[in-house]
Chain A
Amino acid sequence: MIALVALVVLLPLTGALAVAVRCRARGAGSALIAGAIGSFAASIALAAAATGHPHLQGIGGFLYVDPLAVFFAITVCLVVVLAAFGSAAYLRVEEDRGELSSFQVRLYFVFFSVFASGMLGSLFAGNLGLLWVLIEASTLASAALVGLEAKARSLEAAWKYVIISSLGVTIALLATLWLFYAGSALHLTSNERLTWSYLFAHAHALQPGSLRLAFLLAVVGYGTKVGLAPMHTWLPDAHSEAPSPASAMLSAALLNTGMYAVIRFQAIAKAGLGNAYPDHVLLVFGFLTLFVGVIFMVRRGNFKRLFAYSSIEHMGIVAIALGFGGILGLYGALLQVLNHAIGKAVLFLSTGDFVLGYRTRESSEVRGALGALPLAGGVLVLASLAVAGCPPFGIFLSELTIVRAGFARSAPVLTGLLLLLLVVGFIALVGTTLAMATGDGPEPLHPYPRRSGRLLAALPLVSGLGILALLGVWIPGGLNEIIVHAVRAIS
């Protein structure tokens, strides 16, 4: 089991290794794809091996595998696979066109690998101090990706990203310190007082005042990485300025890793303080986030920023689902995390084609994409419908589950507000992408001159969309079981 975890976490580093042996974009891209697929396969194997065990602990509590961790690992691994294909295609074009130097390309693959591996590692960290260290490390790696193009705008975005998320992470450290202090009365060693499973088991014995403070600080601190409003301001800049495959990683993997940390803290807080306080905190942050995300989606010109605000919207929905609580709410939240990750990865990868083809990020300058770039245009329309919550895609199902959780909690006003905001978000998102897909516009360059590049770019788009459609009509038994067990592990 430990070997499998090591495989999941370390295999994405193949991209960095390939760079170390002086590969160029092509070689490093292929190595990264191979590593990512291997890591994904290992995560599936881990899921199979973990069924039957409620959880597994190793290396003095530093390693902790439970269904929640496995579920998030599968989600992140899947995103890494999709983004690895996208990176291989996108970076080769940028290198051929001379927009990025080969040094920048190498840097990209090194930091992409470290970023992926840091995030996956943090999911299996049983110790909250280690979790903090790994999330911090992945922040540093991703900042380099945001600032990679080294233009004035991307550096400004990178600065905003680093400074705001550093402050967030510092606050998360404060949260970890208070949680550690809350357990001072427990007869545990210092390392055990930071180990999630012990804290969860002894949550009722934690000092309530300090625990409340720790939870609030964790929601603010890790919530900065999730993009919860009002700590979301770095998110649209970073997503719009990063290279498209890196945007996909930020939106679909990094935000979820932050959410994972919030869920861990929420589980302890719920066990120690009862449901009311943690639920209310998450509902307040969730609705604020959803509101901000939706309002800023209306009439947004830059399409990458539009999708970034849509990510904020979805993180708000997940926080609301966590706040609704209950089996249904948590199930819906986890399903939403998976579906949104796939949908948003596809959407951001498809923007790569438009950025390469039209050399713009303004939606008003992209018209008639369906005719000019049939594959990317079609995927854009379908994926935006999927992300906006249109059946038969998976997000429809998870949002329906969350709405049901809201009614089950007998909160009809809040649920009605949620539905209303979802509708506004739907119109804003699909309206823009439909306008991009239809009409007459300038003829784009062909984004991928080589056949192999075209194939590499098309594969994640089509397969991601396929998985999303599949999840809308059928949730495989194994996946369902993991989610159900994950819900049980935190409640």
Chain B
Amino acid sequence: MQSLSSSSIEGTLLSLSAVVILLAAFACLGSKLFNRYVAYYGLQSIVLSFAAAVVAYHYDNAQLWALAILTLAVKGLAIPIAARRLLLRRLELKRDVAMSTGLSTSLIIGALLTAFAYLAIRAQDLPHGVVASSVVPLSTAVVLLGALIMVVRRHTVAQLIGWLITENGVFLGAITLVATFPFIVEAGIFLDLVAAVLIMVVFVSGITRRLAEATSSELMELRG
């Protein structure tokens, strides 16, 4: 099996997709409106499914085709639609105000994390001339940016989006670094299940409002 070289057409497409995925994560980090979060996430997932399809085409691997279709159907379409219908409209979410740092500060931290991702991954001896060496640092940056969104946003729906972005980063890394990973589809299915559960919890409980507008006494309940 030939590994994906960075000069081939597939390699170029994959690198470009990775850049778009990173930009979508930054766009999400720099946004304040809930429907934009969902839109950027949907865009990111569609690009990810395209990237998975490129890798699947290159290796002619049925598992990766399945992952690409699964990503498109669940993350590209189902989750954004469900999030819009169940969360944003029902709970009337528009503008996210529950942030612990300002937008510019979080963007700067995001840039630092991206630089850190390059430092941390460059040290690993990734094979030279292979597309993985340019994409894996980007995917690691996406993982860190997702986690950053979870940290700086206090609203449950925003945290949910942050986790979903982290997950996209993991799968971008997985398809470029270890395309033959045997559990890739199962992992995808399981994480989608988790996403479904998370959406359910937020929906059923309506804790979105409670956490977002939590008074200090409510925050004191589960302290320490």
Q: Tell me which residues across on chain B come within 8 A of A300, comparing CB atoms.
A: 224
Question: Which residues of B120-136 have CB atoms within 8 Å of chain A's CB atoms?
Answer: 120, 123-125
7 sampled A-B residue pairs with Cβ under 8 A: A133-B183, A133-B190, A156-B210, A159-B202, A170-B163, A180-B178, A213-B120
Q: Mark B188-204, 1 if CB is under 8 A from A, else 0.
A: 00110110011001101
Question: Which residues of A175-207 have CB atoms within 8 Å of chain B's CB atoms?
Answer: 176-178, 180-181, 184, 190-191, 194, 207
Q: Tell me which residues across on chain A come within 8 A of B211, comparing CB atoms.
A: 156
Shortest beta-carbon distance from A194 to chain B in Å: 6
- CB within 8 A of A163: which of B150, B177, B180, B187? B150
Q: What is B's interface to A at a CB cutoff of 8 Å?
A: 120, 123-125, 143, 147, 150, 156, 159-160, 163, 166-167, 170, 173-174, 177-178, 180-183, 186-187, 190-191, 193-194, 197-198, 201-202, 204-205, 207, 210-211, 221-222, 224
* Complex Cα spacing A181 to B74, Å: 27
Identify the closest chain B residue to A134 (Cβ): B190
Shortest beta-carbon distance from B184 to chain A in Å: 9
Given A137-B190, A152-B207, the answer on whether A132 and B224 have CB atoms closer than 8 Å is: no
A156→B222 contact, CB < 8 A: yes
Q: Given contacts A167-B150, A167-B166, A210-B124, could you give 10 more A-B pairs where the C-beta distance is less than 8 Å?
A: A129-B183, A136-B194, A159-B201, A162-B194, A163-B150, A170-B170, A177-B174, A207-B125, A236-B224, A241-B222
Identify the closest chain A residue to B174 (Cβ): A177
What is the size category of the interface that chain A forms with chain B? 35 or more
Question: Which residues of A141-164 have CB atoms within 8 Å of chain B's CB atoms?
Answer: 143, 147, 150, 152-153, 155-160, 162-163
Identify the closest chain A residue to B136 (Cβ): A181
Given A194-B183, A213-B124, the answer on whether A174 and B194 have CB atoms closer than 8 Å is: no
Q: Tell me which residues across on chain A come within 8 A of B198, comparing CB atoms.
A: 162-163, 166
Shortest beta-carbon distance from A319 to chain B in Å: 22
Q: Tell me which residues across on chain A come within 8 A of B120, comparing CB atoms.
A: 213
Given A136-B194, A159-B202, the answer on whether A152 and B183 have CB atoms closer than 8 Å is: no
B167→A170 contact, CB < 8 A: yes
B170→A173 contact, CB < 8 A: yes
Given A129-B181, A163-B198, the answer on whether A152 and B210 have CB atoms closer than 8 Å is: yes
Q: Tell me which residues across on chain A come within 8 A of B205, comparing CB atoms.
A: 147, 150, 152, 155, 159
Interface of A is mostly: helix
Shortest beta-carbon distance from B134 to chain A in Å: 16
Shortest beta-carbon distance from A459 to chain B in Å: 32
* Complex Cα spacing A136 to B123, Å: 30
Identify the closest chain B residue to A297 (Cβ): B224
Question: Which residues of A190-246 have CB atoms within 8 Å of chain B's CB atoms?
Answer: 190-191, 194, 207, 209-210, 213, 236-237, 240-241
B173→A174 contact, CB < 8 A: yes
Q: Tell me which residues across on chain A come within 8 A of B125, comparing CB atoms.
A: 207, 209-210
A143→B170 contact, CB < 8 A: no
Shortest beta-carbon distance from B180 to chain A in Å: 5
Given A133-B183, A209-B124, the answer on whether A163 and B224 have CB atoms closer than 8 Å is: no
Given A130-B183, A170-B163, the answer on whether A143 and B222 have CB atoms closer than 8 Å is: no
B178→A133 contact, CB < 8 A: no
A296 within 8 Å of B by Cβ?
yes
Shortest beta-carbon distance from B150 to chain A in Å: 7
The 10 A-B residue pairs with the shortest CB-CB distance, nearest first, are A129-B183, A155-B205, A209-B124, A190-B180, A237-B222, A190-B182, A136-B190, A180-B178, A166-B194, A181-B178
